[in-house]
Amino acid sequence: MGKIIAIANQKGGVGKTTTAINLAASLAVMEKKVLLIDADPQANSTSGFNFDPDSSTKKTIYETLVGERELREILLETEIKGLSIAPSHINLVGAEIEMLNVPERELVLKKALVTVKNEYDYIIIDCSPSLGVITINALTAADSVLIPVQCEYFALEGLGKLLNTIKLVQNRLNQALQIEGFLLTMFDGRLRHANLVVEEVRNHFGEMVFTTIIQRNVRLSEAPSFGKPVILHDAVSTGTNNYLNLAKEIINKNSQ
């Protein structure tokens, strides 16, 4: 049965989508069967695999959430063997409003995932940078949540709000939800304050912080413009190495 990991942080620009794309790709390269759910209306995970989020196929996660299509109908195969994606579209913004009157609206994504969960080793959900209905759906459906933390000032700002939301979901909707770990991203070892942030996060969250740190890397930041995860853009880059190490860490943690 697949493990569902939501990647969430309501603070934008912390490497959430970069992590969703490259962790999913790295797990697939390590011969795991992976499904990436793009649950962000910006659809950056979709374009990050060279799919056009503006195409009018009407086969996106939006149609699944509003009950127009089964999840299985919308899935696309990526360039990487064993990695599928449920694409997103800007219409997903409207789903927040359309789902307001739906009974058990927090459980819509969970019910959709039940139909495919057994077919994958890992299901990664790229959440939007907000704590709205769609993100609550992702946290309710997930087994765990991975939280990217940028190695810059104010890194811990807003984390309290996210942790409160996670606690709320645990209390009311998904008691089994765990924190997969805090992932330090955009690290530049030359900067003193970046090292101080690493120290602060490790002191604060201890063993919940991944050993792997995602470093700032040109190849990693330019890969999305080619519609590829970094491993297909430059297989020997620092970014590729970092995400392969993260994938190994997650596989090891979940095989114990």
pLDDT recorded at residue 28: 98
Per-residue pLDDT band for 2 (boundaries 50, 70, 90) equals confident
Averaged pLDDT for residues 118-122: 96
- H or E segment and range at residue 214: strand 209-215
Read off φ and ψ for residue 125, nearest 5 degrees: -110, 120
- The per-residue pLDDT for range 154-189, each reduced to its tens digit, is 888 878 888 999 999 999 999 999 999 999 999 988
Q: How many CB atoms lie within 10 A of CB 103?
A: 6
Give, in order, the Cα–Cα distances in Å from 242 to each of 1, 211, 218. Answer: 26, 10, 13
- The per-residue pLDDT for range 44-99, each reduced to its tens digit, is 999 999 998 887 578 999 999 999 999 999 999 999 999 999 999 988 888 888 88
pLDDT recorded at residue 142: 98
Contacts of 63 (CB under 8 A, 6+ apart): 69, 74
Strand partners, 123: 4, 35
Could you give the CA distance from residue 209 to residue 249 in angstroms, rounded to a whole number? 11
For residue 197, give the amino acid letter.
V
This prediction has a pTM of 0.95
Averaged pLDDT for residues 98-109: 89
- The per-residue pLDDT for range 206-249, each reduced to its tens digit, is 999 999 999 999 999 999 999 999 999 999 999 999 999 999 99
Copy the structure tokens of residue 128: 């939007």
Could you give the CA distance from residue 98 to residue 74 in angstroms, rounded to a whole number? 19
- The per-residue pLDDT for range 124-158, each reduced to its tens digit, is 999 998 888 999 999 999 999 999 999 988 888 87
What average pLDDT is seen over the chain?
A: 93
Copy the structure tokens of residue 79: 């360039």
Could you give the CA distance from residue 179 to residue 166 in angstroms, rounded to a whole number? 9
Q: Which ranges of 30-158 does DSSP label H, i.e. alpha helix?
A: 44-47, 61-65, 71-74, 92-98, 108-114, 133-141
Decide the pairing of beta strands 209-215 and 83-86: unpaired
- H or E segment and range at residue 240: helix 238-254
CATH class of 3-254: alpha beta
Phi-psi region of 43 (alpha: psi -120 to 50; beta: other; left: phi over 0): left
pLDDT recorded at residue 97: 85
Handedness of CA 241, 242, 245, 250 (dihedral sign): negative
HEC assignment per residue over 45-81: HHHCCCCCCCCCCCCCHHHHHCCCCCHHHHCEECCCC
Q: What percent of the chain has pLDDT over 70?
A: 99
pLDDT recorded at residue 1: 67
Contact 127, 133 (CB under 8 A): no
